[in-house]
Structure 1
Amino acid sequence: MENSDIPVVVIGGGPAGLTAAYELQKRSSDHRPIVFEASDMVGGIARTESHNGYRFDIGGHRFFTKVQEVEDMWHEVMGDDFITVPRQSRIYYKEKFFDYPLKLFNALINIGPYEAARIVVSYIKWQVRPYRDEQSFEEWVINRFGGRLYMHFFRSYTEKVWGIPPTEIRADWAAQRIKNLSLFKAVWNALSGANDTASLIEEFQYPRLGPGMMWEKVRDDVREKGGDVVMQSEVVGVNLDGNRVTSIDVKHWTDDGAPATTETVEAEHFINSMAIKDLIHAFNPPPPPEVIAAAERLKYRDFLIVTLVLDHADPFPDNWIYIHSPKVKVGRIQNFRAWSPEMLPNPDTASIGMEYFCQKGDGLWNMSDEELRALASKELEELALAKASDVIDAAIIRQPKAYPVYDGEYKEALDTIEAWLRTLENFQTVGRNGLHRYNNQDHSMLSAMLAARNVLGEEHDVWNVNVERSYHEEFEVSKKPATAKMVAAE
């Protein structure tokens, strides 16, 4: 295909960046996307890594959405390479496994009738006298589940995931992630079999070779249609002339150890998906001092996964298990065959992902690969899931800036940054880190679709994708092309 006339630079080759490029080519033959990805793999945190034939996620990525455009794109790209996966997950707490979603008799047996009664009394108390102005995660959860259940199932796990007390996490995060669920509804669902809570779906779709398969296909499609996806190319500068971005500076890395080269790339439009904190520091000339100061206040939670190969088949049937026990550092455990059998080259082995939430530079992050393998193997045995001696191989992946943090400072800081970025005429930012929002894959993609349509002359507000107090799967997009109104799908 002949190259188009209007270049559009896309920063980042994750779900948001590649979706923007795909959407541009789908809707216009006059625009040519040029995607720059700093690493050697596409997909961002939704990529699929591999080690000795074993494929694994950077955390599990379910493909489920109520956003029709996203659903359509998934099927356009994947075709018959989607499989339907039954969901099975549990919570490990006080040396017992609780089914999740809740199953009443399993929960009663594990927690005991006395403590169950105390949970109910606590729930009633907080229904009668709730927090009137819920600002923190703790207040939001207690209002819906009671203080006793919060103490058991929310407090310790939340601290493990975020590394800060739940009182310092804004209610926005809880409202976005676990909307439409309460103790009453959880018990009713367990008794009736009903389930209208989007995060607790019973099955989901999944690429047979992992989520990275999706983004590798999109990369190939963009290239086949005349666009570029340039790997190992880090955007280090965003050059401004007044309120317009004129070009970016790109540092190209090589595998052979040769010095990196830098080039300046001009374009008519720019779509960003790199972390806002890094983006603000890349502008030349710099933004106003208050914008730079606001960027410094944004925080992230980092992540690493230790994937262990065992000498026998799956030690548990779950897709994943949440580990609430404070006795171990692991936060969540994946069983990759339960996602897709094709993730493993040998059916007589198991591939188990031990996920750790951490901060870049802390004790966990700085452990050697050998130390992390030993720690994960020991904790797998402490949880009575397998013996440390069963481990025959391991792979470790460290992922910085995995989750934007919703602390007490983030909203004011983000508002300051957003106000300044809105003044730029031909520059948009999308995706989880590009908007500093804990979006899942589908809404990161949606923000990118809307940005691509804006390039083509429509008027959508990408900042308002998934900002209301509503869970990410509770939206549908209006079909009117010139609006970006999000309609609750209750």
Structure 2
Amino acid sequence: MSEVETLIIGAGPAGMAAAMELSKVNKKILIIEKQKSVGGLAKTLTFEEEGATFFSDIGPHRFFSQNKYLYDFIENLIHDKWIKVNRLTRQYIGGKFYDYPINAAQALKNIGMKKAFRIFLDYLFAQIVYKILRKKIKNFKDYVIANFGRSLAELNMINYTEKVWGIECSKIHPDWAKQRIKSLTLISALKSIFTKGKDPRSMVDQFYYPEDGTHLIYKTIEEKIIQKGNEVLTESYPTKIKHDGKLITEVIINTRGKEESFKPKYLVESITMKNFVNLLEPSAPDCVLEAIKTLKYRSQVYLFITLDKESITKDQWIYFPEKEIPFGRVSEMKNFSKKMSPDGKTSLFVEFFCFEGDKTWNMDKESLFELALNHFERLGFFTRKEVRNYYLIKQKNVYPIYDLDYQKNLELIKAYLNKFENLFFIGRPGRFKYNNQDHSLEMGILAARSIIDEKKYDIESVGSEIEYYEKGDLNVSNKQKVSFNWMVLEDRDET
């Protein structure tokens, strides 16, 4: 059995951030990653074609945070390859494009005065039902109707949410709305339009992006920690995790068919919570095993389409809430950075939401392409003749599903895992918590600081107590960023 100071399982944003933070103070680490490369859902894919190379992230990864430490963390890694991008995103609803964030004049023109008046009346009616008559908010559907009115909720919130999660909004926990649109209402949204993003609940008009793709962050971390004598084992995964009820005592790792045993002083892991619990020996209590069975995930399949065309749109990404359109979001990577496509050519990354094993998941790339092509031609995005090639990618367990029972089961599982004094479970899969790249980085840094400072910081609060930012200018160049005080993390407050 080999001893290791900190064993990190999972080389996504959370795991790699933990590794980098530990490496800075010369802590010895070993990273285990199941895939062939680091980055997790934030890796960048490379597609080599005759005379052309295309790159694509796995969906849009914009970086915006109120945390100064995170900006410094990444700037110190990639320096001048950290570029500022003016955001342009839209939604396609009812045959029309709507700017996102909202362009008031455009939205009013698209929906018309009659529809706008109906939206306002529905909002007033919702205030009577939920505020005056105090109807209880039991689910996501209740939440968005209470805060936006039925007409606006049905325009793009309910249909898109059901498209993403694959279940009715009446079966989705209101936590999902509280996490993503906390404190946002029809009135506050209208205020933010006329105050040009000064409202703290507003949306991001600019973001930062690594000019060679998001993988640049994680490949750079990998290089730096290897330079310090640490090791990254790819195509490796845990087969057994032993404990004594108080500490994780041994982890069995399979690397390309060869098993090896490690004794970690600390274990930092970001694999799916369900997989981790099922690897424990002795087994978790029956109540925990029953609870873990209830956790559900949403998966995705993707089409990456390369094109003999200069440009499709100016958008970084576009949402398609309506269920009649089979895909939910598309990204034109060239609009993040010109380096993502060759000169004179572009590409489109197309996202389909599904469950592992369902009809969409089982489609071959030709069927999926044909399913989507008619919509793209009708939209004027591109024609069949302009298509160079297309590729199919599949990803399991992308989104944790917040059904009505998830909270009580998750709390039971977390209470059990928190008993292990040397365990830190982090990231979207590790905590069964939908969060963004910046939140995963924060979790990894917090886990590392907990090890360095020998005190457990509050990882659970990351991404929970703050509003979800979608609009607003970046003030990073003049350092108007919120500082991060490691000594008061338990009471962290971001403005």
- Scaled by the length of structure 1, what TM-score is found? 0.93
User: Which of 456, 459, 476 does residue 459 from structure 1 map onto?
Assistant: 456
Alignment match, 1:25: 23
Alignment match, 1:257: none
Alignment match, 2:176: 173
Q: Residues 87 and 472 of structure 1: is their aligned pair in 2 closer, same or farther, counting only changes over 3 Å?
A: closer
Alignment match, 1:312: 309
Indicate conservation of the 8 Å contact 1:477/1:486, yes or no.
Answer: no
Alignment match, 2:245: 242
Indicate conservation of the 8 Å contact 1:269/1:426, yes or no.
Answer: yes
User: Which of 486, 490, 495 does residue 484 from structure 1 map onto?
Assistant: 490
Q: For 1:237 and 1:18, how far apart are their aligned partners in 2?
A: 22
Moved more, 66-75 or 78-87: 66-75
Correspondence 1:56-71 to 2 at 5 A: 56-71=56-71
Alignment match, 2:442: 446
Correspondence 1:266-305 to 2 at 5 A: 266-305=263-302
**Matched residue of 2:399: which SS?**
strand
Indicate conservation of the 8 Å contact 1:443/1:472, yes or no.
Answer: no
Q: For 1:64 and 1:81, how far apart are their aligned partners in 2?
A: 16
**Matched residue of 2:490: which SS?**
coil
RMSD (Å), alpha carbons: 1.9
Q: For 2:136 and 2:492, how far apart are their aligned partners in 1?
A: 25
Q: For 2:273 and 2:71, how far apart are their aligned partners in 1?
A: 27
Alignment match, 2:255: 252
- 1:17 aligned partner, one-letter code: G
Q: For 2:202 and 2:335, how far apart are their aligned partners in 1?
A: 18
Correspondence 1:108-127 to 2 at 5 A: 108-127=108-127
- 2:321 aligned partner, one-letter code: H
Correspondence 1:37-186 to 2 at 5 A: 37-52=33-48, 53-130=53-130, 132-186=135-189
- What displacement does 1:433 show? 0.8
Moved more, 147-156 or 386-395: 386-395
- What displacement does 1:240 show? 1.1
Q: For 1:320 and 1:471, how far apart are their aligned partners in 2?
A: 18
Q: For 2:70 and 2:224, how far apart are their aligned partners in 1?
A: 16
- What displacement does 1:279 show? 0.3
Q: Residues 319 and 62 of structure 1: is their aligned pair in 2 closer, same or farther, counting only changes over 3 Å?
A: same
User: Which of 255, 258, 262 does residue 259 from structure 2 map onto?
Assistant: 262
- What displacement does 1:192 show? 4.0
Over residues 152-206 of structure 1, what are the superposed CA-to-partner deviations in whole Å (9 max), with x where a residue is unaligned? 1111111111100111111111111122422122223333423435662111000
Indicate conservation of the 8 Å contact 1:10/1:270, yes or no.
Answer: yes
Moved more, 11-20 or 144-153: 144-153
Indicate conservation of the 8 Å contact 2:203/2:469, yes or no.
Answer: no
Indicate conservation of the 8 Å contact 2:43/2:214, yes or no.
Answer: yes
- Scaled by the length of structure 2, what TM-score is found? 0.92
- What displacement does 1:69 show? 2.0
**Matched residue of 2:15: which SS?**
helix
Specify every segment of 5 or more residues in structure 2 that has no aligned partner in the other structure, as ranges: 472-480
Q: Quick one: percent identity of the two aligned structures?
A: 32
Q: Residues 35 and 41 of structure 1: is their aligned pair in 2 closer, same or farther, counting only changes over 3 Å?
A: same
User: Which of 356, 375, 382 does residue 379 from structure 1 map onto?
Assistant: 375
Q: For 1:214 and 1:303, how far apart are their aligned partners in 2?
A: 24
Q: Residues 277 and 477 of structure 1: is their aligned pair in 2 closer, same or farther, counting only changes over 3 Å?
A: farther
Alignment match, 1:324: 321
Q: For 2:335 and 2:413, how far apart are their aligned partners in 1?
A: 41
Q: Residues 197 and 338 of structure 1: is their aligned pair in 2 closer, same or farther, counting only changes over 3 Å?
A: farther
Q: For 2:488 and 2:323, how far apart are their aligned partners in 1?
A: 50
Specify every segment of 5 or more residues in structure 1 that has no aligned partner in the other structure, as ranges: 254-259
- What displacement does 1:235 show? 1.4
Q: Residues 6 and 315 of structure 1: is their aligned pair in 2 closer, same or farther, counting only changes over 3 Å?
A: closer
Q: For 2:124 and 2:423, how far apart are their aligned partners in 1?
A: 50
Q: For 2:489 and 2:349, how far apart are their aligned partners in 1?
A: 41
Structure 2 residue 184 is the aligned partner of structure 1 residue 187: no
- 1:151 aligned partner, one-letter code: E
**Matched residue of 2:323: which SS?**
coil
Q: For 1:136 and 1:77, how far apart are their aligned partners in 2?
A: 42
Q: For 2:379 and 2:84, how far apart are their aligned partners in 1?
A: 29
Correspondence 1:203-242 to 2 at 5 A: 203-242=206-245
Q: How many residues align?
A: 476
Q: Residues 339 and 199 of structure 1: is their aligned pair in 2 closer, same or farther, counting only changes over 3 Å?
A: farther
Moved more, 442-451 or 78-87: 442-451
- What displacement does 1:451 show? 1.2
Q: For 1:432 and 1:137, how far apart are their aligned partners in 2?
A: 20
Indicate conservation of the 8 Å contact 2:268/2:424, yes or no.
Answer: yes
User: Which of 331, 344, 350 does residue 348 from structure 1 map onto?
Assistant: 344
- 1:301 aligned partner, one-letter code: R
Over residues 25-83 of structure 1, what are the superposed CA-to-partner deviations in whole Å (9 max), with x where a residue is unaligned? 22x32x21101000002111111111112111111011111122222211111111111
Alignment match, 2:400: 404
